[in-house]
Structure 1
Amino acid sequence: MTRNVPLYSSLQNVSVKVSYIHGLSVHNETRELLAGVLEGSRAHLARAITLIETKHPGKHQQAQWLLTSLLSHRNKLKKSNKLRDTFRIGFSGSPGAGKSTLIETLGKSLTGLDHRVAVLAVDPSSSRTGGSILGDKTRMPKLSSDPNAFIRPSPSGGTLGGVTRNTQEAILLCEGAGYDVIIVETVGVGQSETVVADMVDMFVLLVPPAAGDELQGLKKGIVELADLVLVTKADGDLLPAARRIQTEYSSALRLVRRALNYPWKPRVLRVSSFTNEGVNEAWETMTEYKETLLEKDLFNEKRMLQQKTWLWYHIQWQLMERFHSDPVVNDHLKDQEESVMAGRLTPGTAADNLIKFFIKQ
């Protein structure tokens, strides 16, 4: 049976009494999007995520109204103890680690347990063309057709961290539409992938049986952030290799220093999407992690600190966009770059010059 119970109830309970926020005229279409999201409509949710991903200044303002309205209603429900619990999980791993396959297997298992699952799958954008594959729905055909699941592929746009800059806001929209398990699948190709840990409650690293030396993971800086390591494809001829990798990563995690008195010790488990072996144990471990942090009053504290972190991410991104689009900077940029390449200026001096042009000093 389809569960279509939205997280924040219906739009009738949303108190938005004015049509203008800081002089912004709110479009009827944006109001309809808010209503549809709160009622759990997948079509409205998809359109809302498209809206927040836009770079158009006018639409960006509409998106911020939508998100602010959602936050306002969320806070009211929180005060009245009517806000449903959600769980945000990040999956990262190298290409070919089996992320999409495992997410589909886990997702189908969770919808069978009466959960509503949203998957925000970030596709890598080409550094040359800016294009991306956007093929996660085809890699998860069963889950994408599940009425209690929502899959949204988004291009990373070259953003460091393997996540689109709007992923954190998309999580809020998914929760508003009634999805209680939010899975963020990242590109998983290098050291910068750790940004995902700043937007999820639990960070899960997926490792294929042929991952090699455990130090490889440590060098990437990802293992030290992992709350759980899952060795994938642990079946058939690959089972011995999976057992070896499990042992190696277990040893590696013992060397990772965690914050003093942190109540959770990372674990390494084997899973198989083909036989489903280990999938239930993996979910039980994830829920145990959540319960542990809730008991120690660390769960909500972690989310609050993440909000602060993402404030600074957005400041950095917006400043860079304004810097690159500034006409005065563009008038001097080529000359400064040529001076650096010719050895007439150091990169630091040229940067100082361009920043002075930017702030009009």
Structure 2
Amino acid sequence: MPELGPLRPERVAVYTLTLPGLAVAERIHRALPGSRLYVAERYRPLAPEGAVPFAEPIRDLVQRTWALHDGHVFVMASGIVLRAIAPLLLDKRVDPAVLVVDLKGRYFVPLLAGHLGGANPLARHLAEALGGEAVLTTGTDAVGAPAPDLLAKALGARVPDWGPLKAVSALLVDGRPVGFYADCVDLTPLLRYPMVRVLEAPDPEGVEGMVLFTVRRPFPLPVPALFAHPPALVLGLGCNRGTPLEEIRREVRAFLEERGLAWESLARMATAELKRDEAGLLAFAEETGLPLRFHPAQVLNAQPIPNPSEVVFRHTGLLGVAEAAVLAEGARLLVEKTKRGNLTLAAGVLTLGIPEEALP
């Protein structure tokens, strides 16, 4: 059965207004364990246990339930649904998934948030479960092109500006050449799409738009370009004993700024086991919410670092901390160690894979 996507079944609401719709809605409810079933009051005696009856117009009901659920499945006419949800729509980045299903349970039509909200995989899941057909109208799905927004979501990437998405997606739908570049993602699965050009460098020559999965901050390009920052950046840290949080915060941000690296791509930090009780580092990890990993001396000293230090070794028994910690995380060293005040910093990048379910 197809994956449900980013939606959890218990976060989905199912609505029905009619008796034929009740039969279909019950089947959908069973296919989504934990979902909430809303049934018109007059069919309360026929509804399964736990169903929520309602007497008000569907538009008023949805006003109450819109923010309570991440997905809304309506077994009714699309016109009713459109009029009910229209005042509630905000932005594709935050709108919930909305599906319309016909009264015979044959067609599952995502109306809203097909990619970012997960309406398309929800439609596929329910169509498979009920023996119907998912009717996907998002352009990239219709023509079998990769969807940049869906790829970004699947990779956990942060997108600082969604503005170029419309232009880039239109190019993909039209079959125009769009360049995909990544310094932290294996783009090999995209080679099978004729409109995609996998680029070795962020060079727009020969393409009409670009999608960049990168740990570097956005930079100007002469074509529409969507920048996405996957969590692939590893920060290696060493510091003198007692380095305060304020200095760590300041120097880390300055280091990333000077190197053109995106804070949004930071996945985790790493250091030496002997820093496990370093108050400033622990406070910085708590403040940022970033995992801080500690590696023992034998692991760090086994790493082929480019800049070992005899001085550090005499004092700590370590040939290096920042670079070695990056390599110990399985990252490719991107920025060699840099001394900043009481800190030594290095950065590396992980290579992420594209989940197969994110591709048409």
TM-score (norm 1): 0.25
Greater length-normalized contact order (CA 8 Å, ≥ 6 residues apart):
1
The structure that is strand-richer by fraction is 2
TM-score (norm 2): 0.25
The structure with the larger Rg is 2
